[in-house]
Amino acid sequence: MTDSPVVTARSTGSDLHLELPATGGRRAALMTALREAIRSGRLAPGTRLPPYRSLATDLGIARNTAADAYAELVAEGWLTARQGSGTTVAERAEPAGPVRSRRPSVPPRPAHDLRQGQPDAASFPRTAWLAAGRRALTAAPNEAFGPGDPQGRRELRTVLADYLARARGVRTDPDRIVICSGFAHALRLLFDGAGAVLPGPLAVEGYGLAFHRSLLARAGVPTVPLSLDEDGARVRELAAHPAVRAVLLTPAHQFPTGGPLHAARRSAVVDWARGSAGLVLEDDYDGEFRYDRQPVGAVQGLDPDRVVYLGSASKSLTPALRLGWMVLPEHLVDRVLAVKGEREGWASALDQLTLADFIDAGGYDRHLRRMRRRYRDRRDQLVAALEQRAPHIGVSGISAGLHAVLRLPPGTERSVLKAAAYRGLAVDGLADYRHPLTGETAMPAADGLVVGYATPPDHAYPAALAALCDVLPSPE
């Protein structure tokens, strides 16, 4: 049995946790506890200890007992005492060994990272974001610092309704927007748990993120793949699946193969939703980034009562912000909020207020214009490198987004990925995105690479492109 008081150094405001054995003298017990804290590394060299008077008061022991323990540990070399500086752990008092972590070792970072999935981290608008945060905090009402509204701050929902109408053609009002922490959180709110808003099965595109399919599978939601061609998902295939009442699409820029959903298919999928009492889930994951064509408006604008529009700040700003939004048909708002709970447990109210100010003050538009130029230049460098060193490799999906697809000769994807790993190049294979139930007859599998061009810093990008070209197969 041990006593484990928390010792407070009143002069410094620090706390010190000590475990004193219940047997033996108090001076010996205190010395043993301090030695063990130093030996284990809990008290690092240079750590300042509480004054012996404060320590004695907190432990309920005599001051002389604490002073004698300190003095003896100083004499042994565990502690150092200097007039006016207090008592500190000696610099040469090294722990016996490192504390072993239970976490598995983290693999080393690749020399070149061309994986898709995140924006250029170095381009986050820190100065403008800080200014927006200061303005937002200054103007925030007191209630903003209490338990959060699960629907999200009205300031952000109001600004988002205006922005999405202007920039993406979304038709909504603040009361039909629910703030979440990102696209995956939105899927969980719609499908996960006993209170799931939407039933399965869910139709999805034949290529997409395996992470999303796994999330749905864990929620007990089967997914039915739709084949793809140059015009996007073949939505006519929905008629062959009468049990399906919802379909998840990336209509502005199919992920990962690229290209918008054809206008006729956009109309057709809305007609399907109306005729089957179904819903279209629109993942507008990079709707802001268009380079060589006019922006494609959101499908939601065709029928706000049959389309759930899902967006986030992950690509436009940073995934670290953990902010997303759902634009819902009116009849789903209360059901989603019932699943979310009575209080906001995911998205920071302060970040919501900052984003609202950032958009309202024009910072978001300025940032997006700057990043379009930056990402277009990155895209152009990738295309130029391929034209020069691997003109036989086809590239698609380059008119928008933050990645491109490189078409490889049949049967070469696996060997290219092995060569890339050997060179320290991180890149994704197209096969990883293919739905396992996609039929070969409807959509034959293709070899390819999904190359993200937003991640590497500027100084490392040319070397990453050189490493990519080095591992591509030679022309036959």
- pLDDT mean over 431-444: 90
Q: For 356-407, how does the pLDDT look when each residue is reduced to its tens digit (9 = 90+)?
A: 999 999 999 999 999 999 999 999 999 999 999 999 999 999 999 999 999 9
Lowest-confidence region among 101-115, 164-178, 309-323: 101-115
pLDDT of residue 63 exceeding 90: no
CB contact at 8 A, 200 and 224:
no
pLDDT band at 92 (very low <50, low <70, confident <90, very high): low
- pLDDT mean over 99-127: 80
Check residue 107 and give its pLDDT: 61
pLDDT of residue 3 exceeding 50: no
pLDDT band at 8 (very low <50, low <70, confident <90, very high): very low
pLDDT of residue 113 exceeding 50: yes
pLDDT of residue 76 exceeding 90: no
Q: What percent of the chain has pLDDT over 70?
A: 92
How far apart CA 28 and CA 25 sit, in angstroms, is 5
pLDDT band at 93 (very low <50, low <70, confident <90, very high): very low
pLDDT of residue 10 exceeding 50: no
Domains along the chain with CATH numbers: 2-89 (1.10.10.10), 113-117+366-471 (3.90.1150.10), 125-361 (3.40.640.10)
Check residue 105 and give its pLDDT: 54
- pLDDT mean over 437-459: 91
Q: For 184-215, how does the pLDDT look when each residue is reduced to its tens digit (9 = 90+)?
A: 999 999 997 656 788 889 999 999 999 999 99
Lowest-confidence region among 103-107, 401-405, 461-465: 103-107
- pLDDT mean over 444-448: 93
Query: Which of 39, 52, 46, 40 lies closest to 7 in space, CA to CA?
Result: 52
Q: What percent of the chain has pLDDT over 90?
A: 65
Check residue 290 and give its pLDDT: 87
pLDDT of residue 2 exceeding 50: no
pLDDT band at 9 (very low <50, low <70, confident <90, very high): very low
pLDDT band at 101 (very low <50, low <70, confident <90, very high): low
pLDDT of residue 166 exceeding 70: yes
Lowest-confidence region among 176-190, 192-206, 237-251, 309-323: 192-206
41 versus 143: which is more confidently predicted? 143
pLDDT of residue 152 exceeding 70: yes
pLDDT band at 234 (very low <50, low <70, confident <90, very high): very high
Q: For 16-42, how does the pLDDT look when each residue is reduced to its tens digit (9 = 90+)?
A: 777 777 767 888 888 888 888 888 888
Q: What is the CA radius of gyration of the chain?
A: 29
- In this prediction the pTM is 0.81
Check residue 195 and give its pLDDT: 65
